[in-house]
Structure 1
Amino acid sequence: MKRFIGFIKKEFYHIFRDKRSLFILFGMPIVQVMLFGFAITNEINNVDIAILDHSKDANTKQIIDKISASKYFSIKDFLDNERDIETAFKKGEIKAVLNFEKDFSKKLMTENQATVQILTDATDPNTANTISNYTSSILSSYQELLNKDISIPYQIGVQTRMFYNPELKSVFMFVPGVMTIILMLVSAMMTSISITREKELGTMEILLVSPLKPFQVIVGKVVPYILLSVINAIVIILLSIFVFSMPVEGNLFLLGAETILFIMNALSLGILISTVSASQQTAMMVSLMGLMLPVILLSGFIFPISSMPFPLQVISNIIPARWFIIILKGIMLKGVGLVYLWKETLILVGMTLFFIALSVKKYKIRLE
């Protein structure tokens, strides 16, 4: 037992001496969380737009003032005619144009209807759709203000309530996904590199013929990364709570237990990668390219799985990150317990045991 503890201490010393490993372990997670939290968002703020006002009357001025006063839009330019619209879009300085028809107020008073055309730059469809929705919301708000003293015999009121994320903050979607990506990549990559380093240098066989049993050597390699990955998870959760105001509605103990389970899953996958990799470079490439794209594209982190083609939906079932993201959102946002998450938990347990069993089998073949 003393030899085993000493071996684990040696691994810790080795990690802390390797500046590259330290940066990957602690620097990359913090940078990724901050980037995703601040830079990558579905929300819009201070989007530059242009106004083409054919009417220039009191109502259009009130609408323009209302739009200008919102935090979502910044009026970049006032156009003179419709020929300037395409030119403005081609310059790339604006994302939308509001085109008020001629005699706007007059038609509003006499015909009870006037038109505002919303033109958006749809080279980015998501942003264009968001701009259109935000603008329509502001116009609807102005319309309600005009009609506040008018009684309508029949009307249908629509009340919308957003559960778990009432302010529609995109960071609530990104934090669970980023946490999953970081834990998967860091845990799998560092474990695969650690073991392939020994194999590349020819010292793995020496370790396995030492007084330590082969299983103890492998576990000793993995244990430091379990502890360091847990620290990473704690740092990510603290950043999400105190920097991005991410709620944790559920049980913290359950969140910690599920996180450790996923870390063990990622580490077992890293060990499996090390069995098929002859060098550190190969292990890193397999870890990065073989895990990053599937985790990002097929886990439901960014793109809804239900919107994918059926074959990809089937493939997504073998991506551990898919199930962990469901668990994280369930605990952090919905506040649910194991009663609702038992299926996802059992799937992760099964995957972990499968990766470990396959890894042990591969190691026996390679090192006997």
Structure 2
Amino acid sequence: MKRFKGFITKEFYHIFRDKRSLFILFGMPIAQIMLFGFAITNEINNVDIAILDHAKDINTTEIINKISASKHFNINQYIEKESDIEAIFKKGKIKAVLNFENDFSKKLVKEHQASIQLITDATDPNTANTISNYLNAILIQYQKEINQDITLNYQIIPQTRMVFNPELKSVYMFVPGVMTIILMLVSAMMTSISITKEKELGTMEILLVSPIKPIQVIVGKVFPYIFLSIINAIIIVTLSLFIFKMPIQGSILLLGLESVLFIITALSLGILISTISETQQTAMMISLMGLMLPVILLSGFIFPISSMPLPLQLISNIIPAKWFIIIIKGIMLKGVGIQFIWKETLILIGMTVFFIVLSVKNYKIRLE
């Protein structure tokens, strides 16, 4: 046991003396959580739009002022004729045009209906659809305001309710996903080069002739990174709470325990990669290329798994990040307890045991 403690102490010294390792452990997660949190969003803000107002009456003025007051839109230009619309879209700055018909207010009073044409730049379909939805929401709200004291016959007003994220904040989607990616990639990357580094430096012979058993070497390699990755997780959650106002509806203790479990799973996978790699470069490439794309694309972080083809849905089941994202969203956003996420927890435990057993089996008793 004394030798084992000494081995773990050596690993800590080795990590803290390597500035590059410390940067990967602590610098990259902070930079990534800030970048993903602020830069990657499906919300729209300060979108430049143009107005073509044929009526120039009180109602069109009120609608324009309401849109202008919104943080989502910036009225960049007023145009005079419809032939100008194509030209301003070609310039690429204007993303939408509101075209008010003639005698807008008169038709609203006499006929109880008037038309507004919403024209969007559909070179980016998702953005165009989002802009259209936001503008329609503003128009519906304005219609409700002017209809407060007016009785209209048989109006059907659709009502939509958003649960768990009523304000549709994209940060609620991205923070759990980014936290998963950071813990997965950093943990696996750091441990994947640990044993391969021993091979390259020629210190593997010392480990092989020492009385330390293979399982002790594996655990000794993983243990320091568990401690450091937990600090990483605390930093990420703290940034999410105080900068991005991410709620934690469920138990913080359960969130912590599940995060530790996922960290151990990722570290175990990294150790497995290190046992089958001969060089640090190979281990790094496997960690980055072999894990990054599957984690991002097949974990449900960005794209819903249910929308994928059946083969990809099946493959996604072997991605640990998929199960952790389900767990973390359940705890942070839905406030669920272990009774709702026990299956995902057992899957992560099973994966961890599998990776560790396979790592011990692949660990070379003697150099070839």
- TM-score, normalised on structure 1? 0.96
Instruction: Supply the RMSD in Å over aligned alpha carbons.
Output: 1.6
Does the 8 Å CA contact 2:218/2:360 hold for their aligned counterparts? no
Counterpart code for 1:123:
T
Q: How many residues align?
A: 368
Deviations 1:94-117 (A, max 9, x none): 211111122322322332222111
In structure 2, the CA distance between the partners of 1:266 and 1:112, relative to structure 1 (3 Å rule), is same
**2:168 alignment partner in structure 1:** 168
Deviations 1:126-166 (A, max 9, x none): 22111111100111112122222211344445443322222
Cα shift at 1:198: 0.8
Segments of 4+ in structure 1 off by > 6 A? none
Does the 8 Å CA contact 1:120/1:132 hold for their aligned counterparts? yes
Deviations 1:196-250 (A, max 9, x none): 1111223213212113223222221111001000110111111111111111111
Deviations 1:42-86 (A, max 9, x none): 111111111111222222111111111111110011112222212
**1:91 alignment partner in structure 2:** 91
**1:207 alignment partner in structure 2:** 207
Structure 2: which 5+ runs fail to align?
none
Deviations 1:317-359 (A, max 9, x none): 1111000000001111111111110110111111111111222
**1:102 alignment partner in structure 2:** 102
Q: What SS does structure 2 have at the residue aligned with 1:94?
A: coil
Cα shift at 1:275: 2.1
State how 1:297-308 maps to structure 2 within 5 Å: 297-308=297-308
**1:149 alignment partner in structure 2:** 149
Cα shift at 1:305: 0.8
Give, in whole Å, the separation in 2 of the partners of 1:89 and 1:276: 55
**1:60 alignment partner in structure 2:** 60
Give, in whole Å, the separation in 1 of the partners of 2:366 and 2:152: 80
Give, in whole Å, the separation in 2 of the partners of 1:255 and 1:128: 37
Does the 8 Å CA contact 2:208/2:366 hold for their aligned counterparts? no
In structure 2, the CA distance between the partners of 1:111 and 1:366, relative to structure 1 (3 Å rule), is farther
**1:286 alignment partner in structure 2:** 286
Counterpart code for 1:282:
T
Corresponding position: 1:177 with 2:177: yes
**2:45 alignment partner in structure 1:** 45
Counterpart code for 1:359:
S
- TM-score, normalised on structure 2? 0.96
Q: What SS does structure 2 have at the residue aligned with 1:278?
A: coil
**2:7 alignment partner in structure 1:** 7
**1:242 alignment partner in structure 2:** 242
Deviations 1:293-317 (A, max 9, x none): 1111110101111111221111111
**1:23 alignment partner in structure 2:** 23
Give, in whole Å, the separation in 1 of the partners of 2:109 and 2:154: 21
Identity %: 77
Does the 8 Å CA contact 1:208/1:217 hold for their aligned counterparts? no
**1:117 alignment partner in structure 2:** 117
Deviations 1:158-203 (A, max 9, x none): 4433222222211111111011000100110000111111112232
